[in-house]
Structure 1
Amino acid sequence: METTLENILNVTLLEPQQKHPTIFNRFNELKEGESLIIHNDHDPKPLYYQLLGQKGNIFTWEYLEEGPAWWKIRIRKRVSGENEETLGALAAKDLRKAEVFKKYGLDFCCGGKKTVQEACAEKGLDLTKVEQELQQIDKVPSSRPMPYDEWELDFLSDYIVNVHHRYVRKNLPDLTAYAEKVMEVHGERHPELVEIKNLVKDVGADMLAHMEKEEQRLFPLINSMIKGSKETPSQKTLSSKEFQNFITHHEAEHLSVGNEMDDIRKLTNNYTLPEDACASYTLLYRLLDEFEEDLHLHIHLENNILFPKAIKLEIQLQQSDETH
């Protein structure tokens, strides 16, 4: 529970050798959810990394004031379990945080099982800066985002088919045609367009095959489990281990397509148009950017919401069968 009175420590009043030991002692005295505000005359970021190294990711670090005269930081001891939240879980709770992840190139869909700390460490990012931006989102009232995480799984799978699968099938022909056309016209001066065209073709083939498997097998299987959870006969034909392996296979296919789109982004220098870009060149890059945006949300809904809940439901059904 949060403290009602602010717990403040003015570090500037301490001897230099007593500063960090005093802060550590005050932090150790905190109960879960309680916080300590430190006042300093410079940015105490080294303290952040010392705390992280010695205590682990059991605290949040929030800048209340950042100079030039004073730096004020609220250090809050996390409640048990908070530090285990992954990129995918954070995005599932509040999709606005996905914009921060995308800004820093953090993969919240295919790589959504990593914590913020793990993902930032892999990319050499300043964790305090990323967490600060995530905290700012928490302070801004939400404008009624889509409640994906609250939907029934059969409704969510139908939504994915009718929105995201339909988007892919509708836009792939244009995307493929423009990739071919722009390569033919500009390929000599921009040889990367040949590889881009080939990658677009691969993405299209992979996505169409993947969506077909989801619509013909995976989603009907999940929907039959929903019926089984409502005490009607279930058509489930896989064991728990087989079902989880089935999900893992679909996640691997997501990762493959995600990597192909990452390669396209790198080849296009983040969809930066060259000086001699024509209207078709411009349209191709816009279509690619929009396609990737839709793909990120598409994979997020499956990897971070649909699949974990389906696995949890399957385990519950298995346990229920064993008790009868």
Structure 2
Amino acid sequence: MKDLLKQNVATIVTKNINTAPIFRKHKIDFSCHGDMLLSKACEEQNVNLKQIVKELNAVNDNIYYLKDYNSWELDFLIDFLVNIHHDYKEENILFLREYGEKVTKIYGKEYKELKKVNVLIQEITEYILEHMRNEENTIFPYIKKLIVAKNKNHIPDTKNSPLNEPIDSLEDDHEKVGYAFKQISKLTNNYFLPRDACISYKILYLKLQQFEEELYKHIHIENNILFPKAKKLERSFYKV
């Protein structure tokens, strides 16, 4: 982990995914706001810079291939996002939508934060599902066409750079959903359970916390690995 102070947060995590838990622990957003230098990110979150550098330098540099997303071919990365991440997100956000309603009806009067949490879950569910459909039906197939064109030394008509605008829109989606989960985390005091919480309450918080972690990993892979590489690939077809 060399020259950490010269790198932005996204670059650090992209180079070594093993650093992600450290940033999550310190509430530093490497997914949607990874363009900040480490020093700036620490300043905003009131994190001791020397301490986090020490923690990052202690991270294992040996990255397990199945987590080294930055080394994967783009088409394989897309298949992984669709077949693993999208399936997980669809199954679990639908579960959270149903379970959030159930738990809120039972305990909403006693725990006021549950009502606000449930409203956020209901609001983002269709948003997330539509976002994934958009990726699977438009952006991902287009990126795969670029990959095929490159492999066949074929030059597609991409002078209008159709990736820029839709990717900006997808990144806006990431920002909105990420913000919603920050609100959920705040409302639940980082998923801290009341002493007398029943099993249903515990399941809801556990599933929300797991979903948030997977969500940020998914956003990181797209914002900081897939999208920049796809844009670079597209630009390569019309360099003068």
Residue 105 of structure 1: SS of its match in structure 2? coil
Is the contact made by 2:158 and 2:234 (CA closer than 8 Å) also made in structure 1?
Answer: no
Is the contact made by 1:221 and 1:236 (CA closer than 8 Å) also made in structure 2?
Answer: no
Residue 96 of structure 1: SS of its match in structure 2? helix
Indicate the residue corresponding to 2:46 in structure 1. 124
Cα RMSD of the aligned pairs, angstroms, is 1.9
The AA in structure 2 aligned to 1:318 is Y
Answering whether residue 227 of structure 2 is matched by residue 275 of structure 1, we say: no
Distance in 1, matches of 2:157 and 2:127, equals 26
For residues 45-56 of structure 1, the aligned pairs below 5 Å read: none
Distance in 2, matches of 1:209 and 1:222, equals 19
Indicate the residue corresponding to 1:165 in structure 2. 86
Indicate the residue corresponding to 2:95 in structure 1. 174
Amino-acid identity (%) = 37
Indicate the residue corresponding to 2:167 in structure 1. 247
Match of 2:208 among 288, 306, 324: 288
Match of 1:108 among 30, 35, 47: 30
Distance in 2, matches of 1:207 and 1:224, equals 25
The AA in structure 2 aligned to 1:107 is D
Indicate the residue corresponding to 1:150 in structure 2. 71
Q: Which moved more, 1:121-130 or 1:293-302?
A: 121-130
Q: CA deviation at 1:144?
A: 2.2
Indicate the residue corresponding to 1:37 in structure 2. none
Match of 2:146 among 219, 225, 234: 225
Is the contact made by 2:96 and 2:204 (CA closer than 8 Å) also made in structure 1?
Answer: yes
Residue 318 of structure 1: SS of its match in structure 2? coil
Q: Give the number of the structure with larger relative contact order, counting CA–CA contacts within 8 Å between residues 6 or more apart.
A: 2
Where structure 1 has 5 or more consecutive residues not aligned to the other structure, the ranges are 1-59, 61-75
Where structure 2 has 5 or more consecutive residues not aligned to the other structure, the ranges are none
Distance in 1, matches of 2:201 and 2:5, equals 44
Is the contact made by 1:87 and 1:108 (CA closer than 8 Å) also made in structure 2?
Answer: yes
Is the contact made by 1:88 and 1:113 (CA closer than 8 Å) also made in structure 2?
Answer: yes
Structure number having the greater strand percentage: 1
Residue 237 of structure 2: SS of its match in structure 1? helix
Indicate the residue corresponding to 2:113 in structure 1. 192
- Aligned positions, number: 239
